[in-house]
Amino acid sequence: MTCPFLDYRDSAGDRTFDTARAYCTAAERFVQPMRADVCNDRYDLDHASDCEIFLAHEDELDEAEIGSEVPTEGPDA
Amino acid sequence: MTYDDFLAGDPLIITAALTGGVHGKEANPNLPETPAEIGRAAAAAEDAGAAVVHLHARRPNGERSFATERFQEIDDAVRRHADDVIVQHSTGGTGAPAEKRHLPLRTDPAPEMASLDMGPLNRYDHLTSENTRGMVDALHAEMVERGIKPELEVFNDGHLNEVHGLLERRELADPVYATLIFGGGTLTPPRPRNLRNAVDNLPEGALFNTLGFGRHQLPFATMGILFGGHVRVGLEDNVYYRQGELAESNAQLVERVVRVAEELGREVASPSQARDILGL
Ligand code: SF4
């Protein structure tokens, strides 16, 4: 399951990208590529324990959002 | 290596760390991410004076990839655009399983060099890149099998003990080549005396490469040049040219350190000279 705060966007504010990138709706900024592996729960990573931003914003989620899933690009590329 | 090596005028190997795997275009839009961008950046860095390019692979959206196929695409692009630059793959990968960390070693041909992280490194608040001795030994064994020269990444002084330990456990081809890394967090604090101390604690005959993160890149490169070492610059380690001004390219950072070396009277090594120095 991916982080419910994760979104893929090709623009936000004055930033635009050719390809949609990981965007954190809790921190309201694009995510570093290494952290995006945490957002996507890749390998043994888990956003619920490994991301301090998630832990700081967890109480803003309602129950439905905690169970939601964001489509990603697959396991590896 | 010492100040005497500087006085003797030994050529300086410049490594350009072109892309990395931590930040991407969200930090600096000039950072190359696709194979074509990395290939062109490698050629420009080589033209500017880099003998080695340190490479990571990314997915089309900039996220990390460890896939051999993706490294192959990048190497093919580098060889298409650049003349003779030495290719060095990263085997780093916070949070990635051990088997993924081996995949960058399996391109055809194999990279001439690959990084070997010498121990643990904290990332963010809840992650650690573990780099256990078992993992280091397994990566080193595959490098030996494939004829790849390891670049030992020393993130802090404890990792100097790990370099000595690795030499006790395994046979390393001469010369041992270690990158001394300075910055915040788990890294050695960026103080000149700490560079001097790290150099003094390297194994006899080892060569060193100097890496300062962020605003420490240029001062530590300059000290590395003066202490007879080699240097690494590039957008992986520092996205700024100066405070508040993003770097335009990797080549711009290479050009600057070439100017410093020239002013200090140190010849810059071509890829072929670097191969001789490193015993490739
Ligand atoms: S894992 Fe962290 S950075 Fe990623 S979307 Fe969730 S809260 Fe944001």
- Residue boundaries of the structural domains of chain B: 3-278
A55 falls within a domain: yes
A69 falls within a domain: no
Q: What's the CA-to-centroid distance between B144 and ligand 1, angstroms?
A: 39
B98 in A contact zone (CB under 8 Å): no
What is the full per-residue pLDDT of chain B (280 aa) written as tens digits? Answer: 778 887 887 899 999 999 999 999 999 999 999 999 999 999 999 999 999 999 999 999 999 999 999 999 999 999 999 989 999 999 999 999 999 999 999 999 999 999 999 999 999 999 999 999 999 999 999 999 999 999 999 999 999 999 999 999 999 999 999 999 999 999 999 999 999 999 999 999 999 999 999 999 999 999 999 999 999 999 999 999 999 999 999 999 999 999 999 999 999 999 999 999 999 9
Chain A: give the shortest CA distance to residue B43, in Å: 23
AA letter at B237: D
Nearest Cα neighbor of B53 from B110, B108, B15 is: B15
AA letter at B135: M
Average pLDDT, chain B: 96
> Of A35, A42, A76, which has the smallest distance from its Cβ to B124's Cβ?
A35
B24 in A contact zone (CB under 8 Å): yes
* This prediction's pTM: 0.95
Question: Domain B3-278 falls in which CATH fold?
Answer: TIM Barrel (3.20.20)
- Residue B212 to residue B210: CA distance in whole angstroms: 7
Residues of chain B found within 8 Å of residue A49, distances taken between Cβ atoms: 126
Atom 8 of ligand 1, nearest CA residue: A24
Question: Is residue B152 within 8 Å of residue B140, measured between CB atoms?
Answer: no
Answer yes or no: do B95 and A31 touch at CB < 8 A. Answer: no
Q: What's the CA-to-centroid distance between B98 and ligand 1, angstroms?
A: 24
Q: Which pLDDT value is given to residue A74?
A: 46
Q: What's the CA-to-centroid distance between B250 and ligand 1, angstroms?
A: 29
| Residue A6 alpha carbon, nearest atom of ligand 1 | 5
Answer yes or no: do A19 and B67 touch at CB < 8 A. Answer: no
Task: Supply angle C-alpha B58, B60, B63, rounded to 5.
Answer: 45
Q: pLDDT tens, A4-47?
A: 999 999 999 889 999 999 999 999 999 999 999 999 999 989 99
Q: Which pLDDT value is given to residue B6?
A: 79
Please state the φ and ψ torsions of residue B130, each to the nearest 5 degrees: -75, -50
A35 in B contact zone (CB under 8 Å): yes
Q: Which pLDDT value is given to residue B10?
A: 86
Helix (H) or strand (E) holding B88: strand B86-89
Q: Which pLDDT value is given to residue B61?
A: 96
B185 in A contact zone (CB under 8 Å): no
Task: Name the domain count of chain A.
Answer: 1
Supply the ipTM of this predicted assembly: 0.92
Which residues form the domain of A31? 6-60
